[in-house]
Amino acid sequence: MKLFLIAGEASGDALGAALMAGLKTLAPGIAFHGVGGPRMEAEGLKSRFPMEELSVMGLVEILPKYRHLKRRIAETAAAVAELAPDALITIDSPDFCLRVAAAARTLRPALRTMHYVAPTVWAWRPGRAAKMAPVIDHVLALFPFEPPYMEAAGMTCDFVGHPVVADRLGTADEAEAFRETHMIGADQPLLLCLPGSRRSEVTRLAPRFEEAIARLRDREPTLRVVIPTVRGVSALVRGIVAGWKVVPLVVEGADDKRAAFAAADIALAASGTVSLELAANRIPMVIAHDFNWLTWQMMKRAALIDTVTLVNIVSETRTIPEFLGPACRPGPIAAALARLVDDEDARAAQLSAMALTMDRLGQGGEAPGLRAARSVLAHL
């Protein structure tokens, strides 16, 4: 059996790697082809080009790279058609992945297609499921409320759980060792700063995050900051933060990231899957994100819900404070972070919502990567 997989960003790479591990367990000898990042490469994928080329977010931000992305779509679709895999499995990144699926289907009409991560039609642009149905046969959903939306559009869909519930968490010993290694006292508050995994996110958010952190440090003089980063933006992050007023520790790699999460007290993060990682690690958080003005206007008008933070959505609470678009300003962000330091009730409310979120996403059950693999094989 051979499969062609495509992931376009760090979160998709994690999903793809877990799926590949599950498939290797259930179907030894399976061959993988396609595009992915370091985690998928560690599972045996030789990426056709660097996954980071696809890590672009925002309608306006894509425009300068449009010609290059269009060329990659054509190249990838041609590679799928030539390989004639048992299935094409696209993972998130719908702007790229679904165009590849459509082009590949044109070249090879009998191609079986699956998409991992249902479009968030419950949040905005509900017509996306219907547009996706002609080129996708089967969907692997991360959230338990999503299958009915996909089935109504004509696709089959299985809830497979979110991989964050199976992530190995750092231990108390790892947290203590991290603080000792980096000379962070047990009584010093440690803030995780997570400005995103895309270059456009980091560039846009870094100045706001820096100023918010500086204001928090005025209130908490012993504050320390750590930024776990990923391969595609590591050099950019290091260059940007070298001149910050509060110079953070920058770490890269799974072990250091896991230890940093275990050691942290609070977090300031860009919007995205990272809120679930923070929830799994029980780290109270503030979410902040800004966009190109036109992108923000279009998103705001299309939104069907009043929050973008996944912990808020899954837990059906609004305990995680958000500062989005024009509200993404250092002063209010710093005040929200200070509240998490000072207010035990605010922290407790977040921790309760995090526990409910993890339960609803399948914590304690079969690993989502294995459930996803079972779904793929059953569909085939």
CATH T-level topology, domain 172-360: Rossmann fold (3.40.50)
CATH architecture of 2-162+366-379: 3-Layer(aba) Sandwich (3.40)
**What pLDDT, on a 0 to 100 scale, did the predictor assign at position 62?**
62
Structure tokens at 23: 């498939």
Model pLDDT for residues 275-326, shown as the tens digit of each residue: 999 999 999 999 999 987 777 777 777 777 889 899 999 999 999 999 999 9
Residue among 133, 157, 127, 155 nearest 145 (CA): 157
Model pLDDT for residues 135-146, shown as the tens digit of each residue: 999 999 999 999
CA angle 377, 123, 69 (to 5 degrees): 65
**What pLDDT, on a 0 to 100 scale, did the predictor assign at position 297?**
79
**What pLDDT, on a 0 to 100 scale, did the predictor assign at position 99?**
95
Q: Could you say which residues of the chain have pLDDT below 70? A: 55-64
**What pLDDT, on a 0 to 100 scale, did the predictor assign at position 115?**
98
Residue among 198, 368, 58, 99 nearest 88 (CA): 99
What is d(CA 135, CA 150) in angstroms, rounded to the nearest whole number?
Answer: 13
Fold matches, 2-162+366-379 and 172-360 = yes
* Domain limits, the chain: 2-162+366-379, 172-360
**What pLDDT, on a 0 to 100 scale, did the predictor assign at position 204?**
93
pTM higher than 0.85: no
**What pLDDT, on a 0 to 100 scale, did the predictor assign at position 30?**
96
Rounded to the nearest 10 degrees, how much is the dihedral formed by the CA atoms of 308, 309, 313, 315? -170
Give Dmax over CA atoms of the chain in angstroms: 63
**What pLDDT, on a 0 to 100 scale, did the predictor assign at position 66?**
79
**What pLDDT, on a 0 to 100 scale, did the predictor assign at position 104?**
98
Angle (deg, nearest 10), helices 199-219 and 330-342: 60
Q: Count of CB atoms within 10 A of residue 160's CB?
A: 27
Residue among 106, 95, 143, 138 nearest 123 (CA): 143
**What pLDDT, on a 0 to 100 scale, did the predictor assign at position 239?**
95
**What pLDDT, on a 0 to 100 scale, did the predictor assign at position 350?**
98
